[in-house]
């Protein structure tokens, strides 16, 4: 199987990413192709860093060159390809899939992707607080409130909070301020990364906090899973849920790399 054939089969074109766990499971159901190259590396050419397999520039499913402006991203892509064993497992190539999506989809649909991030801000997870138990309420206030306050200061607007699942309509001026901030995220790589961070955390607020250096990736992940971790602390975690979380963390780390280095 050639490089182009593999990417056409296992790449992820389109502006938005599917659920990464579902994507990984689907990929694992497909027969895995044999590794068809010896070395994966990076070639610098015309101001871009190309992923090269045995010296041949790889291509995306849409036949674009798998090339980026960021050396760290290109090197991470090459490491991902080099790490494949006798069989190439796309479930273990989250960065490749995401970069394919950025180059083939996000680049031509930037406004739609930005609009979806703003839409998430309209019902952001950090704006919906528990009414009880007291320990969870306190933890949400302790972890989420400083992040929310930082972003409100950044955008110059306030978010409305709600208790439970009662919908809180965010002010138009708040969403307009979020729109202006999201417009600053470079496309396509960083924007694709931002979109996936948002999807995996359920929060545009956390995404903006990470993008602007207000919190680090680990703090972002922990804040996004605050409620889940509280429940795990009480009831424990089953093996399947733990495995799904590991997969999602790999996807998250790939998205963070694009957001911060793309």
Last residue of a domain, one of 64, 93, 122: 93
Q: What is the CATH number of the domain that holds 191?
A: 1.10.3580.10
For residue 101, being part of any structural domain is answered with no
pLDDT given for residue 22 in this prediction: 54
Question: What is the rounded distance in angstroms from the CA atom of residue 36 to the CA atom of residue 55?
Answer: 13
If you write DSSP's letter for every residue of 104-148 in order, what string do you get? HTGGG-HHHHHHHHHHHHTT-GGGEE----HHHHHHHHHHHHHHH
Claim to verify: residue 33 and residue 70 sit in the same structural domain: yes
The parent domain of residue 146 ranges over 109-261
Distance CA 12, CA 104 (A): 8
Element (H, E) at 11: none
Does residue 184 form part of some domain? yes
Nearest by Cα to 194 from 220, 63, 185: 185
**Do 115 and 162 share a domain, yes or no?**
yes
Residue 119: the pLDDT is: 97
Confirm whether 58 is domain-assigned. Answer: yes
Do 172 and 53 fall into the same domain? no
- 128 and 61 belong to one structural domain: no
The tens digit of pLDDT for each residue in 52-68 reads: 999 999 988 899 999 99
The answer on 226 and 143 residing in a single domain is yes
- The verdict on residue 100 lying in a domain is no
Same domain, 156 and 66: no
Contact criterion met (CB below 8 Å) for 128 and 162: yes
Residue 251's Cβ-count burial label (10 Å; 0-12, 13-18, 19+) is: buried
Q: Are residues 114 and 227 in the same domain?
A: yes
Provide the b/e sequence for 76-112 (b: ≥16 CB within 10 Å).
Answer: bbbebbeebeeebbbbbbbbbbbbbbbbbbbbebbee
Is residue 103 assigned to a domain?
no
Give the pLDDT mean for 149-177.
Answer: 95
The verdict on 118 and 88 lying in the same domain is no
CA separation for the pair 253, 193 (Å, rounded): 9
Look up residue 148 and give its two tokens. 């929310």
Structure tokens at 163: 């208790």
How do residues 82-119 score in pLDDT, each as one tens digit? 998 888 888 889 999 999 999 999 989 999 999 999 99
Domain membership of residue 67 (yes or no) is yes
- Torsions phi, psi for 154 (to 5 deg): -65, -45
| 256 close to 197: Cβ distance less than 8 angstroms | yes
| Same domain for 113 and 51 | no
Q: Are residues 43 and 73 in the same domain?
A: yes
Q: Is residue 99 included in any domain, yes or no?
A: no
The pLDDT value recorded for residue 149 is 98
Residue 24 makes CB contacts below 8 A (sequence gap 6+) with 90, 91, 247
The predicted structure's pLDDT at residue 90 = 81
177 and 119 within one domain: yes
What CATH number is associated with residue 86? 3.30.2180.10
Q: Report, as an integer, the average pLDDT of 208-233.
A: 97
> Based on the structure, what is the number of domains in the chain?
2
């Amino acid at each position: 199987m050639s490089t182009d054939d593999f990417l056409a089969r296992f790449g992820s074109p389109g502006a938005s990413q599917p659920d990464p766990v579902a994507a990984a499971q689907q990929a694992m159901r497909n027969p895995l192709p044999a590794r068809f190259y010896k070395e994966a590396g990076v070639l610098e050419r015309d101001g871009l860093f190309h992923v090269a397999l045995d010296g041949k520039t790889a291509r995306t499913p849409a036949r674009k060159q798998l090339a980026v402006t960021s050396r760290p991203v290109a090197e991470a892509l090459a490491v991902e390809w080099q790490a494949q064993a006798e069989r190439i497992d796309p479930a273990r190539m989250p960065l490749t899939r995401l970069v394919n999506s950025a180059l083939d989809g996000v680049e031509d649909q930037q406004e739609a992707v930005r609009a979806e991030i703003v839409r998430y801000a309209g019902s952001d997870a950090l704006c919906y607080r528990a009414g009880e138990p007291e320990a969870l309420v306190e933890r949400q206030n302790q972890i989420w409130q400083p992040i929310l306050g930082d972003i409100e200061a950044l955008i110059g607007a306030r978010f409305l909070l709600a208790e439970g699942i009662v919908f809180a309509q965010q002010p138009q001026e708040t969403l307009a301020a979020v729109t202006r901030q999201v417009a600053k995220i470079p496309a396509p790589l960083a924007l694709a990364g931002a979109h996936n961070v948002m999807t995996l955390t359920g929060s545009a607020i956390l995404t903006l906090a990470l993008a602007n250096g207000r919190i680090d990736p680990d703090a972002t992940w922990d804040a996004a899973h605050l409620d889940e971790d509280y429940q795990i602390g009480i009831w424990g975690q089953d093996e399947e849920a733990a495995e799904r979380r590991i997969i999602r963390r790999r996807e998250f780390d790939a998205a963070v790399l694009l957001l911060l280095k793309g």
